[in-house]
Amino acid sequence: MSAEAELREQICLLARSMFDRGLTGGSTGNISARTDDGGLLVSPTGTSFGRLDPARLSRFDAAGRLIDGDAPTKEMPLHTAFYDTRSAAGAVVHLHACHSVALSLLPDVDPDNFLPPLTPYGIMKLGKVKLLPFFLPGDPAMGDAVRGLSGKRSAVMLANHGPVVAGKDVEAACNAIEELEDTARLALLTRGATPRALTDAEVRAVVTKFDVEWDD
C-alpha cells in the first residue's frame, strides 16, 4: 500500500472513531492532512465522519488545485489558514464537539486562554487555545481570523460552533482535539465547585519541561 493510500485509510479510521464516540455528529466536522508531495487530502462537503470513503476524499495538489475526489468541505479557508501560517502543520481537524461548544457559550471564559489549566495534558497538547468570535459556517473570515494569529496558536475555538486544531500529523491533531474536548468537559463538570486548577508556577513548569508554545 502506498503512503497516500495509508494516509487515506488513517484519516477515515480516526474520523470514524471520533464519530462513534460522539465527538461530532451527523455530517458535521472536517479533517485534512498533508500528502508527501505537498498536497492535501480533505473530507468532502456534507459527509459524515462515520462514513468517509478513502477513495472519495478531496485531493489537492501542492498549488492548491482540486485534482481528484469529491468537492471539499466549505471550511477550506480555515484549513488553509493553518497550513499557510504554521509550517509544521501536517493535519487540521474541526469538530462540533458538545462540551467545548457549551463552554464557549459561557460569558466568563478567557478569550485568550479558553481552557482552564486543569490538567497538564491540555497544556502539553494545545498550548493556549484562542476563542474566536462567532462566524457564519463557511465564512472565509474564519480563515482571516486564524491568519491574524500569525501562526502563534495551534488550536482555536470558534464560539457557538466548535474547536479547530492543527497538529504535526493527523494522529497528533486528533489526539489534541480530543484533549481539548475532554478539558472542556472537566471545566463544565467542576464549574461552581471551585476546583484546584494548576497554579501559574505549575503551568510554567509544564510549559518549560515539554517545550510548549506559550505566549504570555
Please name which of 4, 11, 82 lies closest in space to residue 42, comparing C-alpha atoms.
11
Other CB atoms within a 10 A radius of the CB of residue 12 amount to 22
d(CA 146, CA 184): 21
Which of 35, 48, 119, 121 is catalytic? The answer is 121
| Inter-residue contact 115 to 212 (CB < 8 Å) | no
- Print burial letters for 71-100: b (CB count within 10 Å at least 16), e (below 16): ebbebbbbbbbbbebbeebbbbbbbbbbbb
Q: Is the CB of residue 156 less than 8 Å from the CB of residue 143?
A: no
Q: Is residue 121 annotated as a catalytic residue, yes or no?
A: yes
Any idea which residues carry the catalytic annotation?
Answer: 121
